[in-house]
């Protein structure tokens, strides 16, 4: 019997495999400006992070020439021009189903804008597995911690765990007072995640083992 009553899932890089897609979108933007592109997924993972404005600066954008809001809007337009390019990670739906059958409540907690997030989740036909789908109010990827803390205060779970793929999920779990499990194949490299001090697994089989679900 698992020890958790609630699971909060990060979305990007945790349930959907969009790191390579993000890299391709950022490189379109860099190339358009005559800037050096990011040469590999490993480079992308080494510089990605929150706040996103700092990540854009590390990627090579001149934040004095262009406002962050303009860059963020351009990225979002490119990101949601999906044409089927963003898959769920293999085994994602089966894992959600097993967890639901174990009687655990599941929630998505994401730094994506709420309406865009819900539309994307629904496009995979997996919204039925979640009690709530929680995004933020705008496209600037800030506010996940506050939304998470509000959910915990409102739902009062007996024992909750956040499952994510970046160091920002460590900050979010700490702020919410929940446990944390990392899946090390998303937007941050495995070494970065290991330095955060939470368990890191490579796949959903590892997640289920850590949740003590068979």
The average confidence (pLDDT) of the chain is: 94
For the record, the structure tokens of 117 come out as 């997030």
Q: Which of the pair, 63 or 176, is modelled with greater confidence? A: 176
Closest CA to 112 of 8, 6, 10: 10
| Helix residue spans in the chain (DSSP H) | 19-32, 41-47, 52-59, 68-79, 92-101, 114-123, 144-155, 167-176, 190-194, 204-211
SS3 state at 125: coil
Residues 45-67 have a mean pLDDT of 94
- How many CA atoms does the CB half-sphere of 1 hold within 13 Å? 3
- Give the list of residues 6+ apart from residue 8 with CB closer than 8 angstroms, or none: 107, 108, 109, 148, 151, 160, 161, 162, 163, 176, 178
pLDDT digits (tens, 9 = 90+) for 75-114: 999 999 866 679 999 999 999 999 999 999 999 999 999 9
- pLDDT of the residue at 152: 97
Q: Is the dihedral of CA 147, 150, 154, 159 positive or negative?
A: positive
Give Cα 89 to chain centroid, integer Å.
Answer: 12
Residue the block writes with tokens 């050096």: 36
pTM of the predicted structure, to 2 decimals: 0.94
Residue the block writes with tokens 């950022």: 26
SS3 state at 19: helix
For residues 129, 132, 136, 137, the Cα torsion angle rounded to the nearest 10 degrees is: 120
Is 88 in contact with 122 (CB distance < 8 Å)?
Answer: no
Neighbours of 97 (CB within 10 A): 13
Say whether pLDDT at 141 is over 90: no
Residues 28-56 have a mean pLDDT of 96
Q: Could you give the strand order of the β-sheet that contains 132-136, starting from the edge strand earlier in sequence?
A: 132-136, 105-113, 6-9, 160-164, 179-183, 200-201
Categorize the per-residue pLDDT at 137 as very low, low, confident or very high, splitting at 50, 70 and 90: confident
């Amino acid at each position: 019997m698992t020890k958790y009553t609630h699971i909060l899932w990060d979305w990007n890089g945790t349930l959907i495999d969009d790191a390579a897609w993000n890299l391709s979108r950022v490189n379109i933007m860099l190339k358009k400006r005559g800037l050096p592109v990011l040469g590999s997924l490993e480079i992308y993972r080494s510089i990605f992070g929150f706040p996103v404005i700092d990540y854009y600066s590390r990627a090579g954008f001149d934040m004095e020439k262009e406002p962050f809001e303009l860059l963020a809007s351009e990225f979002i337009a490119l990101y949601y021009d999906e044409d089927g390019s963003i898959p769920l990670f293999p085994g994602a739906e089966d894992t959600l189903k097993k967890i639901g059958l174990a009687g655990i409540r599941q929630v998505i907690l994401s730094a994506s804008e709420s309406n865009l997030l819900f539309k994307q989740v629904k496009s995979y036909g997996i919204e039925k597995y979640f009690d709530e789908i929680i995004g933020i109010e705008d496209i600037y990827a800030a506010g996940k911690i506050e939304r998470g803390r509000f959910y915990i205060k409102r739902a009062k779970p007996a024992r909750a765990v956040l499952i994510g793929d970046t160091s920002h999920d460590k900050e979010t779990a700490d702020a919410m007072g929940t446990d944390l499990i990392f899946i090390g194949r998303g937007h941050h490299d495995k070494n970065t995640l290991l330095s955060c001090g939470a368990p890191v697994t490579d796949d959903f089989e590892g997640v289920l083992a850590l949740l003590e679900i068979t």
